[in-house]
């Protein structure tokens, strides 16, 4: 009977995890600035979001997955029942936000639910991890919004033509990409960057080699775009915007899949499944979610928050890519909607902010705060009730 109960919990947990992954993917909006700039249709945006998202989930999803599995609570392991409750609560709240048209912060709901069940089990708060998470959550609007605003202001200057800004921005993206962690490059260590791996092969000190490879990757990307804009500025702009959108979608997979499959990992320990299998499972969920549910959220962010041109859309996505890769590097669950909304608002204000819906922004921020608290209370209360019965 015990075996049957465990199997039933595993099935329910897997279903809840897949549903959570679906809702995470359905709430993704990395290509929203491209849609707002009229360089891509909503359906194409959803397709590429899912395609690049599953790649990111498999290649970069290990760090956040491990943090959600065991890094939020000390002293206890998340039980199968607790994992199911956490996943159902988090996924349910995100689904409500999707159908209501307000992008709730998936990281807030998932983190609140996991902490809630962990404390209900008698675990101790992981204060060090909480400080790291809260720091990134608080810094994100300022880095993304401020960075997008500064880049958008630079783009709008008449004395700085697109022939210079497009290769410059491409080079900046290359610098970030060179230092982004990839699980396959160092599976045992949670990933390693291209710059770190290549610098080890150079007859230079680690620091000099790392800086050299980073600058080389940035230069290559910048030179490729320089050749593009010399042939056609418009084509170079479109390719840069598409490329950044792809990288942001990739980053979404790496930073978000752990929200869905992290709580499931303790349930799968007896099966001794490789983490890669779990990441593929979660990646499929977010891919299907992006294909089926993301168009609604893409429209909401592209049209309701701020109408961006192609240049300001590019400015919005660069800091989004940077902060997402920071979250992946440190294994911190971060809300991708918080990243994108902050970037869009910052870029929108560079043009005066007249098209930004302040009421929509206010309701969204309130929704994030409420979702964090509500997910914690619901998860704690439900598990306590189940344990009592």
pLDDT in tens, 202-224: 888 888 889 999 999 999 999 99
- What value, to the nearest 5°, has the Cα angle with vertex 181 and ends 172 and 336? 75
- Give the model's pLDDT for residue 333: 84
Whether the per-residue pLDDT at 253 is higher than 80: the answer is yes
pLDDT of residue 113: 92
In this predicted structure, the answer to whether residue 295 has a pLDDT above a threshold of 60 is yes
> Is residue 352 pLDDT above 70, yes or no?
no
Residue 52 has pLDDT above 50, yes or no: yes
Q: Of the ranges 12-16, 189-193, 266-270, which is most confident?
A: 12-16
Helix (H, G, I), strand (E, B) or coil at 92: helix
The model's pTM is 0.82
Quick one: which H or E segment has residue 285? helix 275-299
73: which strand partners?
125
Judge whether residue 70 has pLDDT over 80: no
Q: Where are any strands of DSSP class E within the chain?
A: 73-74, 124-125, 181-182, 192-193
Residue 326 has pLDDT above 90, yes or no: no
Distances (CA, A) of 210 to 65, 171, 179: 27, 16, 9
pLDDT for 117 equals 92
What is each CA distance from 309 to 34, 241, 354, in whole angstroms? 8, 11, 14
| pLDDT of amino acid 95 | 74
Residue percentage of the chain with pLDDT more than 70: 90
Q: Give yes or no for a contact between 237 and 162, defined as CB atoms under 8 angstroms apart.
A: yes
Asked whether the predicted pLDDT for residue 2 surpasses 50, the reply is: no
Phi-psi region of 166 (alpha: psi -120 to 50; beta: other; left: phi over 0): alpha
Give the Å distances, CA to CA, from 331 to 78, 84, 125, 180, 328. Answer: 18, 22, 17, 12, 5
Cα 265-267-269 angle, rounded to 5 deg: 70
Mean pLDDT of the region 38-67: 87
pLDDT(189) > 90:
no
137-188 pLDDT per residue, tens: 889 888 888 998 888 888 777 667 778 888 999 999 999 999 988 877 777 6
| Terminal Cα distance for the chain, rounded | 19
Q: Which two tokens stand for residue 314?
A: 């590019």
Q: Which of 140, 135, 111 is nearest to 336 (CA)?
A: 140
For residue 257, pLDDT over 80 is answered with yes
């Amino acid at each position: 009977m015990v075996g049957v109960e465990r199997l039933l919990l595993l099935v329910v947990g897997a279903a809840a995890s897949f549903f959570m992954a679906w809702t995470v993917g359905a709430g993704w909006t990395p290509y929203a600035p491209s849609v707002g700039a009229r360089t891509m249709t909503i359906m194409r945006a959803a397709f590429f979001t899912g395609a690049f998202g599953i790649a990111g989930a498999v290649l970069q999803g290990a760090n956040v997955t491990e943090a959600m599995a065991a890094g939020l609570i000390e002293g206890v392991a998340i039980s199968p029942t607790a994992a199911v409750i956490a996943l159902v609560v988090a996924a349910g709240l995100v689904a409500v936000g999707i159908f209501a048209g307000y992008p709730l912060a998936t990281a807030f709901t998932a983190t609140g639910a996991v902490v809630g069940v962990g404390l209900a089990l008698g675990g101790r708060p992981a204060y060090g991890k909480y400080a790291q998470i809260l720091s990134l959550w608080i810094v994100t609007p300022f880095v993304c919004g401020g960075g997008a605003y500064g880049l958008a202001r630079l783009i709008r200057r008449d004395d700085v033509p697109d022939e210079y800004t497009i290769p410059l921005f491409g080079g900046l993206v290359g610098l970030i990409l060179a230092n982004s962690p990839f699980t396959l490059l160092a599976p045992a260590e949670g990933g390693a960057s291209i710059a770190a791996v290549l610098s080890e092969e150079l007859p230079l000190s680690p620091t000099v080699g790392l800086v050299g490879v980073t600058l080389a990757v940035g230069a290559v990307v910048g030179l490729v775009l320089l050749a593009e804009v010399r042939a056609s500025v418009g084509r170079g702009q479109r390719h840069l915007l598409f490329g950044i959108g792809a990288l942001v979608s990739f980053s979404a997979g790496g930073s978000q899949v752990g929200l869905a499959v992290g709580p499931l990992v303790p349930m799968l320990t007896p099966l001794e499944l490789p983490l890669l299998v779990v990441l593929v499972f979660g990646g499929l969920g977010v891919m299907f979610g992006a294909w089926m549910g993301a168009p609604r959220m893409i429209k909401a962010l592209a049209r309701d928050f701020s109408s961006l041109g192609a240049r300001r859309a590019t400015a919005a996505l660069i800091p989004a890519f940077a902060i997402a890769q920071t979250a992946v590097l440190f294994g911190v669950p971060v809300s991708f909607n918080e990243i994108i909304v902050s970037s869009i608002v910052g870029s929108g204000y560079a043009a005066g902010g007249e098209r930004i819906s302040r009421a929509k922004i206010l309701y969204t921020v309130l929704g994030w705060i409420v979702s964090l608290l509500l997910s914690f209370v619901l998860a704690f209360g439900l598990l306590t009730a189940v344990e009592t019965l």
